[in-house]
Chains A and B, each alone.
Chain A
């Protein structure tokens, strides 16, 4: 088991190094950093001086190493557009995205699991059929249209909820939270539904199909034949086995919520990391893009690793063999 974990950690580090290389290449080759920093009035001497100051005259590998070292210490350079350290901007923006992602992730997971299990157990009920049909449309609806629709209904027509921004926030330490004010909570509702809906649908459909598969297995039939209660059969025997394949996907879905937040944040002008990123792409603000890429990779790789380790907790067969079968 230890060997397996070490191998997975090793693979994760390699992936991160490759992503770091991509980020570094962006830095180094997309646009000329010198040009970006010095502007129009420059002398050859200025250029040379900056080149050696930035270390651009050193060997490639050495530069890459320096870049990685700085990144690990949280130094992602200076935003071309805002002229401030990227790390500072990110720290400022992170809480709003994390709060949004946390709320919609929780919604997606709870409702996705609940509805998935429900529609699997009541396979032919009309409520299940209604849910399944609705979800099919939900999967094909682009997220931004859902956001616009919600804004139209709840902000424009009904005027119940704000259509943009975070509302009032309270700063606790260096964390600005919208959880503590009523306008902050109200502002969270529409964006978190928009962001969570798609993931919820995916989780629900997956849970349903996996659970229906499990409900057909011999051990579920045998559990019934032993006279166990329906609730024990469904929620103990069937659900535990459903969770094995579902865990990975739920983990990855929760990770991609942070990435999909880009769209939702744009629709609702939510002042988070996603909006920062999309503005960076619009204005080719490379340091911000590179930093975002690296952060999101760390997040994804981290989630992948955690999900893999979760298998060991759920599935005793893996603990015995020590090799991932999935």
Chain B
């Protein structure tokens, strides 16, 4: 078993070394994730600490000393004198945090429901898969918006801003579980009729446990591919929701929120407030997406 896994890994590694797109995407993702982790160290300012802000520094151009204070901002500053570079680092933190947790949530939910549907069968399966089908006909961003709106309605007003990030994770996660469930259900249906499962029952072992231990390795590669592509989708979904004003609150701005803020300065000529967050989002989403595309081709699981 270990040997198989090793071979699989080395095959993948070879494929990786020979795909420039994969290497570049991976490098970009790696750098961005590092930047996110060490944001407090890298960022010149803490954009959320009002004491470090100076309103006179507002609207400083990138790389140009401010006319009044002489402070230099790498990527310029916004209307409140916050360093754009720092806000991007912290914004990307929120974006990635939401994306990763939303995908993790979708993955756990999807795998669980897929296992149940495949294993139990009957009415349970019909109901789960019908819900999946119906949900699949609706764009997941719409599902996320609705869930966001509903949950926001349930939470008391005073807690709304604090909970917003978790609501986002829930909303986006609930919009993405279907793909995981489908793959896992398919694999479960195949495994269910294998001899070892039947044999396990004869010797009185718990079939559940055995099956999960056999199924999970089998679905590892498709799940990995779906998770990577879902991560790109989740990052874009989060940015879209925040851009629309139904996502991350202004107190915890994500990249989408920053773009929403920056859009207001498009006409007045402060292009850097919009451009740099937008470019960061693009780079992040595109490189994760490319990585997912490459993974799908490299592992070549039967995905539709």
Contacts and interface: CB of A to CB of B under 8 A. Distances in A.
Contact of A263 (B146, B154, B240): B240
A127 B139 CA distance: 31
B192 interface: no
A141 B139 contact: no
Nearest to A255: B137
A278 B145 CA distance: 8
Interface stretch (A38-46, A94-102, A281-289): A281-289
B274 A148 contact: yes
A139 B138 CA distance: 18
B245 A282 contact: yes
A127 B56 CA distance: 51
Given A140-B285, A156-B267, A289-B146, A300 B152 contact: no
A258 to B, nearest CB: 10
B239 interface: yes
Chain A interface, >50% SS class: helix
Interface string A18-54: 1000000010011100000000000000000000000
A140 B134 contact: no
A256 B145 CA distance: 14
A260 B139 contact: yes
A311 to B, nearest CB: 16
Contacts of A145: 259, 278, 281-282
Interface string A225-244: 00000000000000000000
A148 B278 contact: yes
Interface residues of B, number: 34
B216 interface: no
Nearest to B246: A281
B108 interface: no
Given A148-B266, A289-B149, A260 B141 contact: yes
Interface string A105-134: 000000000000000000000000000000
A278 B244 contact: yes
Contact of A142 (B149, B150, B263, B285): B285
**Chain A interface residue bracket vs B:** 35 or more
A156 B246 CA distance: 26
B232 interface: yes
A30 B282 contact: no
A278 B153 contact: no
Contacts of B138: 256, 259, 296-297, 300
B289 A140 contact: yes
Contacts of B220: none
Nearest to B285: A140
A282 B246 contact: yes
Contacts of A15: 134
Contact of B149 (A139, A267, A284): A284
A304 interface: yes
A289 B240 CA distance: 18
A151 B246 CA distance: 22
A67 to B, nearest CB: 16
23 contacts: A26-B153, A30-B154, A31-B154, A137-B286, A140-B286, A141-B282, A142-B239, A143-B240, A144-B259, A255-B137, A259-B141, A260-B139, A262-B145, A262-B244, A266-B244, A266-B245, A277-B145, A281-B146, A281-B149, A282-B245, A284-B153, A293-B146, A296-B142
Interface of A: 15, 18, 26, 29-31, 137, 139-145, 148, 151-152, 156, 163, 252, 255-256, 259-260, 262-263, 266-267, 277-278, 280-282, 284, 286, 289, 293, 296-297, 300, 304
Given A144-B240, A296-B138, 16 more contacts: A15-B134, A141-B282, A144-B259, A145-B281, A145-B282, A148-B263, A148-B266, A152-B266, A252-B137, A259-B138, A259-B139, A260-B141, A263-B141, A266-B243, A277-B145, A304-B137
List the 4 shortest-distance A-B pairs measured between CB atoms, nearest first.
A30-B153, A281-B149, A284-B153, A259-B142
